[in-house]
C-alpha cells in the first residue's frame, strides 16, 4: 500500500506516456508543454530533453511532489524547467497566468474517481484558453466501473483512443523498464469537442 504521496513513485503509465513522447520526438522541439500531476516527471523530462518548452506541475498541497519535480529536473540537467503548484479543480493565480500551451501531459492522473471531475474541469479551462491544445494521457484500468465518458460530455470534451501498438508500447518490458508489466494501460488524447455549426 502506497502512502498519500503518489507522486514519489514512477508509475507504469509514466513509462508508456514517455514512450509516446519518444515516438513523437521530432514534433516536440519548440512545443509548449504542461505536465499535470507530474510527480517524478518522467514524461515532462522526456519532452524537455526532446526540445519542448516544459512546465511541470503538481498539487500545491503536496510540497514533496513539487520538490520531486525539481529534483528530477536537476538529475536530468534541466535546471531551468519551471515547477508550479497547480491543484486540480482550483482556480489559482498560477493557473490564470500560465503562458500559452500546445500539449498537456498527464500519466495516471485518473487514479481516484473523486478527482476525475476536478481534473477535467482544469483540462477544460486549459483547452478553452488554448483551443488548439491537446491533453495526452495514459491511465491504468483498475475498475470496469470507472469511466470519464459522462464527464467528457458534460465539459464539451472528446477523446480519441490511441492503441499502444501504434507507438511500440504494447510490451511488458518497455524502454528497458519492466514497469508496464502485465498492467492494463490505455492512452487517449482529449481535446475540445466541436460545437454544432462549426
Q: Which three cell numbers stand for residue 93?
A: 493565480
Please provide the CATH number assigned to the domain covering 12-192. Answer: 3.40.50.150
Enter the pTM of the model.
0.88
**C-alpha 111, offset from chain centre:** 12
pLDDT level of residue 169 (50, 70, 90 thresholds): confident
Q: What is the pLDDT of residues 144-168, one digit of tens each?
A: 777 899 999 999 999 999 999 999 8
* Distance separating alpha carbons of residues 55 and 32, to the nearest angstrom: 8
Q: What is the pLDDT of residues 81-136, one digit of tens each?
A: 999 999 999 999 999 999 999 999 999 899 888 999 999 999 999 999 999 999 99
Q: Which three cell numbers stand for residue 57?
A: 506541475
Sheet bearing 134-140, strands edge to edge: 83-85, 53-58, 32-35, 103-107, 134-140, 185-192, 157-161
Which sequence spans correspond to the domains of the chain? 12-192
3-state DSSP call for residue 191?
Answer: strand
List of residues 6+ apart from 3 with CB closer than 8 A: none
CB-based contact 190:159 (threshold 8 Å): yes
* Distance separating alpha carbons of residues 194 and 143, to the nearest angstrom: 30
* Distance separating alpha carbons of residues 157 and 119, to the nearest angstrom: 12
Amino acid at each position: 500500500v502506497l502512502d498519500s504521496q503518489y507522486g514519489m513513485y514512477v508509475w507504469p503509465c509514466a513509462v508508456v506516456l514517455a514512450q509516446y513522447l519518444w515516438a513523437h520526438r521530432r514534433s516536440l522541439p519548440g512545443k509548449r508543454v504542461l505536465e499535470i500531476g507530474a510527480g517524478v516527471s518522467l514524461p515532462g523530462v522526456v519532452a524537455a530533453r526532446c526540445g519542448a518548452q516544459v512546465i511541470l506541475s503538481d498539487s500545491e498541497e503536496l510540497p514533496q511532489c513539487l520538490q520531486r519535480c525539481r529534483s528530477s529536473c536537476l538529475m536530468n540537467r534541466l535546471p531551468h524547467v519551471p515547477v508550479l503548484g497547480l491543484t486540480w479543480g482550483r482556480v489559482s493565480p498560477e493557473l490564470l497566468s500560465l503562458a500559452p500551451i500546445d500539449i498537456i501531459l498527464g500519466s495516471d492522473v485518473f487514479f481516484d474517481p473523486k478527482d476525475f471531475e476536478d481534473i477535467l474541469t482544469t483540462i477544460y479551462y486549459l483547452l478553452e484558453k488554448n483551443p488548439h491544445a491537446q491533453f495526452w494521457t495514459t491511465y491504468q484500468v483498475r475498475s470496469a466501473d470507472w469511466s470519464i465518458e459522462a464527464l467528457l460530455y458534460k465539459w464539451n470534451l472528446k477523446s480519441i483512443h490511441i492503441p499502444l501498438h501504434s507507438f511500440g508500447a504494447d510490451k511488458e518490458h518497455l524502454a528497458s523498464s519492466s514497469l508496464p508489466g502485465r498492467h492494463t494501460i490505455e492512452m487517449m488524447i482529449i481535446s475540445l469537442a466541436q460545437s454544432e455549426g462549426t
